[in-house]
């Protein structure tokens, strides 16, 4: 999976921590390319990836348990700098001849470290003698240092809060520098990347764009490419990027799945044709999708059915334009991470994104996915770099499976119609209140629950709907948007008055985690 994007690559080995993603974000924000791989990555794959530095993540596991995960030996013999975080520190110590034991005091949340000796990791950030706030989440602790290490900071629950082996460039911390609750944690990570590892921090969107174009040309040659275009920011950016690379070898395909929002199909096609001179085919596949989804209520079955149907259509369209060999999609890094359960790795499949885990096993078209290693906010920056108009860049994400994953249970044309109306009212109110751009994503969900109400002195027995609005940076974590009660009241009244079939409205205040943004 290694890419040619840059030679300054950092490898993050994941032991299953909840916050491994954040390590990647901090590294990329520093202008350094990195990828997350499971700790079980083979030594050959590590060699092929050729990291300039390695970071070991935290983990729910305990080094003291038999069979708990270990880093591949090559991590410590390759001669590159290594930063161990929490479990990463513990396994580093254990593997290099130190000792780990269950601690007497567990530390969760805010803690303080006393800085004892100078260290490249916090040079220019923390002073010797200072007491600094960090964020801890551990029960075990290092009890004996491996040879070559020294203690540079301590905390109450972790006498080895920061340790260093300067000659081998191995550093390890018991706390989590990647979370915002460790103020200056990002500066420590930068020090590891620049001062310790000597990386350049030159991974910019302009550099990414130039290299991505080269890669697309090399992969595709003179072949024809069709690009699944949804009107969302990811596929729009992918299409424009690919068009810059291969010009008229590209044809875009917009699939109307029948699971779109009100007016969306026309809007997307018009917007794209107005701005770009890229051939766009509009396929009306509503009957096909609704037919295949009839009677399906399990979320994963829905997602896989939708993924397979998309591919069926792309295959047919590829033939129609005289045999395209490649399918381009706006797949992002989070789609990949959430869909993939690493064999032998610690993470589990949360949901099969229709364009990754939902793809059929056998595919005729070869995938071109130039954004596969980017997070959403990075794609938006690439969009700016490519000169995409704001109408594309600022759009809320809309998932490929569309309203199908916003109607828990079976999907029917009647339910789709009700949901479209409620969603339209909700988004209209959000726009009127000037909130569209401060919210990351907002939508209505039609619940498969009917409740009793009283309307116009009569009894109603209709569906309930839930409203969702979240703030986020990259969709990997999210919080609910704190609307005023007045706003929520206004939307609820309008939906109940205007949308036949809904007589109750609720607001979803679940963050991610533990929830996800979509309901399925
Ligand atoms: N209706 C559609 N027609 C054609 N391709 C689609 C459609 N919906 C999704 N896709 C393909 O699946 C990919 C993933 O969808 P996803 O919703 O994650 O991205 P997007 O729609 O491009 O952007 P956004 O996340 O902002 O909605 C898209 O980039 C696109 O290639
Ligand atoms: O194209 C897509 N195909 C999918 O199968 C899919 N599932 C979720 N999403 C979008 O991903 C982001 C994170 O969503 P979740 O918190 O629900 O996983 C949110 O922005 C979701 O809308 C999808 N997009
Ligand atoms: N966050 C972590 O990496 C925790 C590591 C280990 N499970 C402990 O409790 O110490
Ligand atoms: Mg979309």
Instruction: State which ligand 1 atom lies nearest to the alpha carbon of 238.
Output: 29
Give, as one character, the DSSP assignment of residue 39.
T
H or E element, residue 75: helix 74-77
Indicate if ligand 2 lies below 6 Å from the C-beta of 517: yes
Q: For residue 107, name the pLDDT band (cuts at 50, 70, 90).
A: confident
pLDDT of 14 higher than 50: yes
pLDDT of 1 higher than 50: no
For residues 100-118, give the mean pLDDT: 89
Q: Tell me, what's the pLDDT at 359?
A: 77
Q: For residue 3, name the pLDDT band (cuts at 50, 70, 90).
A: very low
The answer to whether 230 is a known ligand-binding residue is: yes
Q: For residue 520, name the pLDDT band (cuts at 50, 70, 90).
A: very high
pLDDT of 344 higher than 50: no
For residues 322-343, give the mean pLDDT: 79
In angstroms, what is the span from residue 353 Cα to ligand 2's centroid?
7
The answer to whether 42 is a known ligand-binding residue is: no
For residues 45-67, give the mean pLDDT: 95
Q: For residue 4, name the pLDDT band (cuts at 50, 70, 90).
A: very low
pLDDT of 349 higher than 80: no
Between CA 185 and CA 295 the distance in angstroms is 50
pLDDT of 345 higher than 90: no
Q: Residue 355 contacts by C-beta under 8 Å, 6 or more apart in sequence?
A: 228, 307, 310, 329, 330, 331, 335, 400
Residue 516: how many CB atoms within 10 A of its CB?
A: 15
The answer to whether 474 is a known ligand-binding residue is: no
pLDDT of 191 higher than 50: yes
Supply the residues annotated as catalytic: 86, 176, 178
Asked whether the beta carbons of 13 and 57 are under 8 A apart, the reply is yes
Indicate if ligand 3 lies below 6 Å from the C-beta of 137: yes
Start-to-end Cα distance in the chain:
28
Nearest-CA residue for atom 2 of ligand 1: 230
Lowest mean pLDDT among 2-11, 21-30, 131-140: 2-11
pLDDT of 341 higher than 70: no
Residue 131: how many CB atoms within 10 A of its CB?
A: 11
> Number of helices (H) and strands (E), helices first, in the chain?
15, 18
Indicate if ligand 1 lies below 6 Å from the C-beta of 330: yes
Indicate if ligand 2 lies below 6 Å from the C-beta of 355: yes
Between CA 262 and CA 446 the distance in angstroms is 15
Between CA 501 and CA 512 the distance in angstroms is 29
pLDDT of 342 higher than 50: no
* Residues around ligand 4, an ion, CB closer than 5 A: 230, 232, 398
Asked whether the beta carbons of 170 and 54 are under 8 A apart, the reply is no
Indicate if ligand 1 lies below 6 Å from the C-beta of 235: yes
Query: Which is more confident, 357 or 184?
Result: 184
- Identify the nearest ligand to the CA of 15 by its number: 3
Identify which of 238, 356, 475, 519 to mutate to test ligand 2's pocket (most ligand atoms within 8 A of the CB).
475
Domain 208-393: which topology? Rossmann fold (3.40.50)
- Identify the nearest ligand to the CA of 445 by its number: 2
For residues 112-140, give the mean pLDDT: 95
For residues 306-322, give the mean pLDDT: 93
Q: Tell me, what's the pLDDT at 6?
A: 66
- May I ask the CATH class of domain 9-196? alpha beta
Nearest-CA residue for atom 4 of ligand 2: 353
pLDDT of 393 higher than 60: yes
At 346, list the tokens: 């610690």
Q: For 73-101, b where at least 16 C-beta lie within 10 A, e where not — what string?
A: eebbebebbbbbbbbbbbbbbbbbebebe
Tell me yes or no: is domain 412-507 CATH 3.30.300.10.
Answer: yes
pLDDT tens-digit readout, 275-297: 999 999 999 999 999 999 999 99
Indicate if ligand 2 lies below 6 Å from the C-beta of 460: no
The answer to whether 233 is a known ligand-binding residue is: yes
Asked whether the beta carbons of 57 and 20 are under 8 A apart, the reply is yes
Q: Tell me, what's the pLDDT at 348?
A: 60
In angstroms, what is the span from residue 98 Cα to ligand 1's centroid?
49
Asked whether the beta carbons of 321 and 251 are under 8 A apart, the reply is yes
Q: For residue 340, name the pLDDT band (cuts at 50, 70, 90).
A: low
Average of per-residue pLDDT values in the chain: 92
Indicate if ligand 3 lies below 6 Å from the C-beta of 18: no
Percent of the chain residues past pLDDT 70, beyond the cut: 97
Q: Tell me, what's the pLDDT at 20?
A: 87
Q: Give, in order, the Cα–Cα distances in Å from 370 to each of 4, 63, 214, 242, 329.
A: 12, 38, 11, 8, 8
pLDDT of 379 higher than 80: yes
Give, as one character, the DSSP assignment of residue 316.
H
Nearest-CA residue for atom 3 of ligand 3: 58
For residues 311-323, give the mean pLDDT: 92
pLDDT of 76 higher than 50: yes
Q: Do the two domains 208-393 and 412-507 of this chain adopt the same fold?
A: no
The answer to whether 232 is a known ligand-binding residue is: yes
Predicted-complex ipTM score = 0.89
Residue spans per domain, the chain:
9-196, 208-393, 412-507
């Amino acid at each position: 999976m290694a890419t040619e994007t840059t030679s300054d690559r950092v490898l993050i080995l994941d032991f299953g921590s909840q916050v491994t993603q954040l390590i990647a974000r901090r590294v990329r924000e520093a202008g350094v390319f990195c990828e997350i791989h499971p700790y079980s990555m083979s030594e050959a794959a590590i060699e092929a990836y050729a990291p300039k530095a390695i970071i070991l993540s935290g983990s729910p596991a305990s080094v003291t348990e038999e069979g708990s995960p270990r880093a591949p030996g090559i991590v410590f013999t390759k001669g590159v700098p290594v930063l161990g975080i929490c479990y990463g520190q513990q396994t580093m110590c254990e593997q290099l001849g130190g000792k780990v034991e269950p601690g007497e005091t567990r530390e969760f949340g805010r803690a303080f470290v006393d800085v004892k000796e100078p260290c490249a990791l916090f040079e220019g950030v923390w002073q010797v003698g200072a007491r600094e706030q960090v964020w801890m989440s551990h029960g075990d602790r290092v009890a004996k240092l491996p040879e070559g290490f020294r203690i540079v900071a301590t905390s109450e629950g972790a006498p080895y809060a920061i340790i260093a082996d300067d000659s081998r460039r191995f550093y390890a911390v018991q706390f989590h520098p990647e979370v915002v609750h460790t103020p200056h944690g990002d500066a420590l990570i930068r020090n590891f990347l620049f001062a310790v590892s000597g990386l350049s921090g030159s991974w910019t969107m302009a550099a990414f764009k130039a290299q991505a174009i080269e890669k697309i040309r090399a992969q595709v040659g003179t072949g024809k490419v069709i690009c699944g275009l949804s009107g969302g920011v990811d596929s729009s950016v992918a299409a424009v990027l690919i068009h810059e690379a291969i010009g008229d070898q590209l044809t875009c395909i917009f699939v109307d799945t029948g699971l779109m929002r009100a007016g969306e199909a026309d809007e997307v096609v018009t917007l794209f044709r107005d701005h770009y001179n890229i051939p766009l085919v509009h396929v009306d596949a509503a009957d096909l999708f609704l037919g295949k989804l009839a009677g399906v209520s399990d979320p994963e079955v829905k997602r896989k059915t939708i993924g397979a149907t998309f591919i069926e259509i792309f295959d047919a369209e590829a033939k129609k334009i005289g045999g395209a060999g490649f399918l381009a999609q706006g797949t992002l890094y989070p789609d990949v991470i959430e869909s993939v359960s690493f064999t032998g790795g610690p993470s589990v499949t949360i949901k099969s994104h229709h364009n990754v885990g939902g793809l059929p096993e056998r595919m005729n078209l070869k995938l071109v996915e130039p954004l596969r290693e980017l997070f959403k906010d990075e794609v938006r920056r690439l969009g700016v770099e490519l000169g995409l108009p704001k109408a594309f860049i600022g759009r809320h994400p809309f998932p490929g499976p569309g309203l199908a994953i916003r109607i828990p249970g079976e999907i029917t044309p009647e339910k789709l119609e009700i949901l479209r109306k409620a969603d339209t009212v909700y988004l209209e109110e959000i726009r009127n209140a000037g909130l569209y751009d401060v919210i990351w994503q907002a939508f209505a969900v039609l619940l498969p629950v009917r409740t009793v109400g009283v309307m116009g002195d009569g009894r109603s027995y209709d569906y309930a709907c839930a409203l969702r609005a979240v703030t986020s940076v990259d969709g990997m974590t999210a919080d609910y948007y704190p609307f005023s009660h007045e706003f929520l009241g206004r939307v609820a009244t309008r939906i109940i008055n205007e949308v036949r079939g809904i007589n109750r409205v609720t607001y979803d205040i679940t963050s991610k985690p533990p929830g996800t943004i979509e309901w399925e």
